[in-house]
Amino acid sequence: ETGVTQSPTHLIKTRGQQVTLRCSSQSGHNTVSWYQQALGQGPQFIFQYYREEENGRGNFPPRFSGLQFPNYSSELNVNALELDDSALYLCASSPGTANEKLFFGSGTQLSVL
């Protein structure tokens, strides 16, 4: 059984650029959620994908978008990066849409300069 893997582990971008983060879900899990964790804070829900469709969204602007692929892997895209987007981005997979018993990846640390 493989765990949740994310790539890249670290990324440095400049303001205004675009970024794509990737996540492979745990084997057997069909739901992927993305979270933003600012330094010293709890993770904040960005959105969830189930069967390749967005299935819930937190309080994030439209420049945060995502995709889920037939193999349940997922991408998070952020356009027009702002300094405040600097954070750890966590992907979590679960066997259903209930957001219970999440398995998190190790995250992508994004720095926007």
Partner 1 sequence: GENVEQHPSTLSVQEGDSAVIKCTYSDSASNYFPWYKQELGKRPQLIIDIRSNVGEKKDQRIAVTLNKTAKHFSLHITETQPEDSAVYFCAAIRAGNMLTFGGGTRLMVKP
Instruction: Give me the residues that bind partner 1 (CB under 8 A), please.
Output: 4, 33, 40-45, 48, 56, 58, 90, 97-107
In the complex with partner 1, the residue whose CB is nearer, 18 or 41, is 41
Give the closest residue to 90 by CA, choosing from 30, 29, 45, 27. Answer: 45
Identify the bridge partners of residue 94 per DSSP, sorted by sequence position.
Answer: 31
Give the closest residue to 4 by CA, choosing from 33, 26, 34. Answer: 26
Residue 99 tokens, joined:
């957001």
CB of 1 to partner 1, least distance (A): 15
In the complex with partner 1, the residue whose CB is nearer, 40 or 62, is 40
In the complex with partner 1, the residue whose CB is nearer, 56 or 75, is 56
CB of 37 to partner 1, least distance (A): 8
Q: How far apart, in whole angstroms, are the C-alpha atoms of residue 55 and residue 84?
A: 25
Q: How far apart, in whole angstroms, are the C-alpha atoms of residue 1 and residue 112?
A: 34
CB 83 within 8 A of CB 16: no
CB of 28 to partner 1, least distance (A): 16
CB of 15 to partner 1, least distance (A): 26
In the complex with partner 1, the residue whose CB is nearer, 20 or 58, is 58
